[in-house]
A and B are shown apart, each in its own frame.
Chain A
């Protein structure tokens, strides 16, 4: 029987500390797992439970997977205590993933905040497959303080991939070790030097950030169909049945988790 509730045996091979509260877990499932950028997995800590996470790694690599996780609840607390060699489980992938085909020939703005940078890295790997397909890939990352900016070690590598890739960062409050931009991630959208009519914006971060990023994008001229939001709510079964992730008539686990704002703008409590 193909049991969709049974997790694939997976070994935790390595743990990378990204920030004081965020770690990247390098996983090797017993069989390769094929996923698309933006699709999510259910990660099981045996005996504790499972929680949904979007891989942060390259979808072209199927025999290993990286998932970058903030310590913020029962399952993630347990995960952060695990050492390499530990056994975990994976179910999935679930969801539709990012609409990469739609982005072709467009100017793509990628906006990430805090641990929301994790799914964005998977999106970037998808875009980096062939950056020439896109007019521009403009990455806007924000975090509360410098130490909380994920994947800093890779920023130079990314922008050097192609002249049409740029990356800017900001932190929420001034910090003695920071001489870059200060302010919420929306400040990076104040002076967008792009042709908005030919652009898509994709964002991932806390719901409050998604709300203000959306408002800012609308303010600078984006239309709702041009905005995609990673709505990473509580997802349990992953198959559109258990009902936790309903946003309007959509099940984020099946129809998302990345949703076009145009589809969900009328739903009550869309930003939680």
Chain B
């Protein structure tokens, strides 16, 4: 573990920005929430905030673009194009534990296994993550219910924890170690008591999270009850509230499903194949030619989303695909709260 003071940390970021694009969380005064912003020039933008809790945006949007071209037909271009070479390195600073964890989960789908998405992998390979501890918990944060902590434990290159005058810094990858080595002049050994101070802050945030979520059951124990609640009327009740807007899936850091479609390109002679985010909550998502639809009712789709995250992906990848970031709660116009759903599922199974 190393210590870096605030001035040197900004120097480090300036140096890293020379290798590519740099994104930092900036506190929006009106909403009091962090948003990732690209740093165009130094000093860092006013309001840059490595503290607080997770930003409004997820990290998935950096690796899987909302909308991108994945092929061009006929052959000119895309087939031979090496996407990785065209991409700049990009550095994301201040990512929180829930989001770093989410990227590790999505990696399992997009990179590991039989097929790799080359576009996702290229962007992931170019992504340097400097994570940071949460120094407060949001009202909708519930990572503790998923067995996680509000500080990053893996999945980052570097991780910073705010202490007096600067940050304690840990490395989490070979690339992180290389950055530390290349910039060793910027670091010192931690002063006595700094690690203890960091741990106290961590425990305070965790205690706050536990207090916020004290009335809710554990989400990491919801898989078994979920399997018993397959035919429960609760899905119809949830669907009756749902507005089918798809916001929960768009804002979720672990939702990765997408749509492929073709459109004519500018020349009018070829076409582009476009990949864009999609949502299993909308009617047409799984609809087949001839209008057959395996999930025609909203209750089928609401149920599917929950089962996908808390059961199906446990079966196929051994992990619950929810990190308790709470964005789905923030985004839901119908005030559907995942923590309350855990409660209903657990109760229905009893």
Contacts and interface: CB of A to CB of B under 8 A. Distances in A.
Interface string B256-273: 111111111000001101
Q: Which among B79, B113, B288, B290 has the highest number of chain A CB atoms within 10 Å?
A: B288
Given A50-B260, A237-B258, A268-B303, A243 B280 contact: yes
Contacts of B78: 3, 6
Given A242-B278, A248-B312, A236 B80 contact: no
B292 A207 contact: yes
Interface string A1-37: 1111111010000000000000000000000000000
Contact of A272 (B115, B294, B316): B294
B79 A6 contact: yes
Interface in B289-341: 289-290, 292-295, 300, 303-304, 308, 311-313, 315-316
B125 interface: no
Contacts of A9: 74-75
Nearest to B117: A241
A249 B316 contact: yes
Interface in B86-128: 109-110, 113-115, 117-118
A48 interface: yes
Contacts of B287: 234
Contacts of B216: none
Contacts of B311: 249
A248 B295 CA distance: 12
B71 interface: yes
Contacts of B292: 206-207, 272
A268 B78 CA distance: 40
A2 B230 contact: no
Interface residues of B, number: 53
A132 B303 CA distance: 47
Interface residues of A, number: 44
A89 B311 CA distance: 36
B259 A242 contact: yes
A237 B70 CA distance: 11
A254 B114 CA distance: 9
Contacts of A46: 73-74, 262, 270-271
Contact of B80 (A1, A247, A248, A266): A1
Contacts of B74: 9, 46, 87
B257 A4 contact: no
Interface in A92-134: none
Contact of A73 (B118, B257, B290): B290
Q: Which among B71, B275, B304 has the highest number of chain A CB atoms within 10 Å?
A: B71
A37 B285 CA distance: 28
B41 interface: no
A75 B113 contact: no
Nearest to B308: A246
A241 B70 contact: no
A236 B260 contact: yes
The 8 closest A-B pairs by CB, nearest first: A73-B289, A243-B257, A249-B312, A239-B115, A249-B315, A5-B70, A6-B71, A272-B294
11 contacts: A47-B263, A75-B289, A236-B259, A237-B258, A239-B115, A240-B109, A240-B114, A243-B280, A246-B308, A272-B292, A272-B293
Given A5-B275, A207-B292, A207-B294, 12 more contacts: A1-B83, A4-B117, A47-B264, A74-B289, A75-B289, A243-B256, A243-B258, A243-B278, A249-B311, A249-B313, A272-B293, A272-B294
